Chain A
Amino acid sequence: MKPAPFEYVRADTVPEALAALGGADDARVLAGGQSLVPIMALRLATPEVLVDVSRAPELREHRSDGGVLTVGAGVTDRELELDAGVRAAHPLLVRTLSLIAHPEIRARGTLCGSLAHADPAAELPALLLATDGEVEVAGDAGRRRVPAAEFVTGPFTTALADGEMVVAAHLPLPGPGSGWAVDEIARRPGDYALAGVVCGVELDGAGRCAGARVALFGVAATPVRAHGAERVLDGAVPDDAALDAAAAAAFDGVDVIGDEVHASAGYRRRAGAALVRRALTAAVRAAGEGA
């Protein structure tokens, strides 16, 4: 289990990184490497060049500005998780990060790396989807922002074009009056989710749901919005009956995957619905407390 040989380039700036990416047929960005290195060890990935961006100063920054948390591609999960400002501004993110693997993985793993890797079972792409975040991408043609819903295009595939790289993620901060929750089912702590959900509920003055966002992960080829659940909740008083109905509709239209090793599609659907119910309850409670 040794990776195939590769060239290693340490890029201190984004232009340096782009130049290196453009200079080889099969170059890949190395940030934390916590997903990439294991598949390289199995030789499921054999890049010719690894472009290490983890030390580029401009990618090492994160900041909250105008209701948006911007996280550079070199920022590790653990740095975010332990940062007092992030903990205060985006507790949902911190809770989501805590579900990823183990602290020793999060110490190297990056938020942007998780987005770019696009593992269907990963938490962060679903968080970005649920909260309408954006991925900032740099390429030879300059920079562009890709909405979360358009970024992940399939299992382990994204809207990144050849020669492009993720430079930052923009995460809108949950607003007042909304309540959010994240939850997942895993056999052991840190294992990939058999089903996971990030959800948010906004309540109006009358206690009705003014908007609901439900994103599922670990159940389909990509993170998916649970539109069925959202439609049930929109405009409804989120009482037990409404939450039951929303949970029951969460998998409508979702093409659920399954496997023999971890869980069947049927299990993901059944347990996932119960998970959605539990998370919605928590989100509604949080929304009520925040209002």
Chain B
Amino acid sequence: MTVAGEPVRVRLSVNGRAEVGLAEPRTTLAEFLREELGLTGTHVGCEQGVCGACTVVVDGAAVRGCLMFAVQADGRAVETVEGLAAEGGMHPLQRAFWDAQALQCGFCTPGLLMTALVALRERPEWTREALRERLSGNLCRCTGYSTVLDAVLAAGRAGAGDGGDDGSAGAGAPASGEAGPR
């Protein structure tokens, strides 16, 4: 039992690390990740579950971080965009997004990555048409989506659903490798 307006302690695992923080019952998981844990990669775009920008993975399922209260995530295992790649590396999905220019302003990108991650874990092979529908809950206002489809299909071929980063140390450094093969 909580008291309205009073924060309670929430313990959970985020990207494999034990985390603890305080949350009012009304604090959403997305808000908790951002404001209490400082993980601002999860973005909030509508607070209605429509835009998909806040999508995170909870116990293996992609869910809307804005439609789940932090207290409901107590004891759960949460994955966010910050956990996709090992330090200094890039997850194959991230690399595929970079290669395909599957982002512009980048605001919807973390949510799209997490949705795509779960989609590829469900099955690595997607038809383009099925993927359109599978990703239709993540809105992007910049790209027109086709490069996103390109990226996710390429990442599937590269085994992105298996998890782990691609081990290419230094790939995260912005100025390196941008003139790479296309």
Contact = CB atoms under 8 A, between A and B. Distances in A.
A–B direct touch in complex (beta carbons closer than 8 A): yes
> How large, as a class, is the contact surface on chain B?
20 to 34
A105 B136 contact: no
B64 A104 contact: yes
Interface string B146-176: 0000000000000000000000000000000
Contacts of A4: 26
A53 to B, nearest CB: 11
Interface in A155-201: 188-190
Interface string A212-233: 0000000000000000000000
Given A5-B24, A33-B69, A48-B4, A107 B61 contact: yes
Given A38-B48, A107-B62, A33 B25 contact: no
Contacts of A3: 26
Nearest to A34: B67
From A4, A41, A78, A102, name the one whose CB has the most chain B CB atoms within 10 angstroms.
Answer: A102
Contacts of B118: 103
B133 A189 contact: yes
A5 B136 CA distance: 32
Contacts of A190: 136-137
A104 B115 contact: yes
> How large, as a class, is the contact surface on chain A?
20 to 34
A54 interface: yes
B147 to A, nearest CB: 20
A37 interface: yes
B85 interface: no
Interface string B1-16: 1111100100000000
B63 interface: yes
B26 A2 contact: yes
B52 interface: yes
A149 B116 CA distance: 40
From A8, A38, A42, name the one whose CB has the most chain B CB atoms within 10 angstroms.
Answer: A8
A241 interface: no
Contacts of A8: 1-2, 8, 25, 69, 71
A18 interface: no
Task: List 8 A-B pairs, minimum CB-CB distance, nearest first.
Answer: A102-B137, A8-B25, A107-B61, A5-B5, A5-B4, A189-B136, A1-B47, A3-B26
27 contacts: A4-B26, A5-B25, A6-B4, A6-B25, A7-B2, A7-B3, A7-B4, A7-B25, A8-B2, A8-B69, A8-B71, A34-B49, A37-B66, A40-B26, A41-B66, A48-B4, A50-B25, A52-B72, A101-B137, A102-B136, A102-B137, A103-B137, A104-B61, A104-B63, A104-B115, A105-B64, A107-B61
